[in-house]
Amino acid sequence: MTRSRGPWATALRRLFRDRAAVAALAVFILVVTVCFLAPAYASWAGVDPFRSTLDAIIKVNGQDMPVMEQSTEGLGLGYTPIGPTWQLGNYFLGADNQGRDVMARLLYGGLNSLLIAGAATILTLTFATLIGLAAGFFGGIVDLVLSRILDILWAFPIYLLAISLSIVLIAQGIELGPITIQSGSLWLPIFIIGVVYIPYVARPVRGQVLALRESEFVLAAIGLGVPSHRILLRDILPNVSTTLIVFVPIMLALNMLTESALSFLSIGVQPPAASWGTIIQDGQTLLYTRPLVAMAPGIAIVITVLALNVLGDGLRDALDPRSKIRIGRG
């Protein structure tokens, strides 16, 4: 007699049968691993990615070369940063307009972008789940108040709301009783990005909870006098968890794009910290001489977001195989 597989084991087996999803997961894990090695790379290369080194001299193919080269265009005024040496640990991707190692800054920037996107995703999913569970299960005045708050946030375009909050809070930070977030802290973009996406997760969760609230097993538990918190934790939350899992890679991708946009506009990550968005901004003035300064973080964003989107599709198909059938029939 064969032992039946549990639903999670079955979903995991479906996921690993999806080659595109497995490849996307491998790419994302590789990106995360490489970015988390940023401090080790900077130490090995002997560079400080946050300090200007305009007068540094490095060896390339046995020859001494300045990091900032005398400009040969026009009147010959100013300096141009050294281009890619393609030597790991030795300005592999060249330098930016302040003589900083682009490769080291790319890794540190990716580390900050991933940390902000990950923390904002946790914040979004946590509050959206609490709001969705409360509104869908209790209904009445609770649902009315929470739904109207979500409607107010929903009425603003995502980037307009994020930019508005960033401009207001970037100068003064946030003070919520004993909690203080300074304007230069990474917690500020985490808070802003985490808040603006709450309605987009809370609404689907609320709708799913409303349907579960009328199901037979929940009505039976209510009839037996089971406390509300036990019904929410044992009966409803496990049935909503698959939706939340599918949201994780989607929200990571969206949060990363939002953070990069805010940082590019100088209202996200603040100096001396770096993110992929700030590095793209630094490379604007070098597009014609050293385009790789701006292109490298842009390519990194595209690869990471694409991997997360493919992984999200794979998770959806693994956790809800009926979605694939509905799409095929449509």
Q: CA angle at residue 217 from 212 to 218, to 5 degrees?
A: 50
Q: What is the pLDDT of residues 11-48, one digit of tens each?
A: 888 888 989 999 999 999 999 999 999 999 999 999 99
Rg for the chain (alpha carbons), in Å? 24
Q: What is the pLDDT of residues 139-168, one digit of tens each?
A: 889 999 999 999 998 888 989 999 998 888
Q: Tokens for 177, please give them.
A: 């009783």
Interior/surface letters 234-246, b for 16+ CB within 10 angstroms, e for the rest: ebbbeebebbbbb
**For residues 305 and 325, which has the higher predicted lDDT (pLDDT)?**
305
Residue at token pair 């609404």: 203
Q: Cα 27 vs. chain centroid, distance in angstroms? A: 15
For the whole model, what pTM was predicted? Answer: 0.90
225, exposed or middle or buried, with CB in 10 Å at 0-12, 13-18, 19+? exposed
Q: How far apart are CA 322 and CA 317, in angstroms?
A: 8
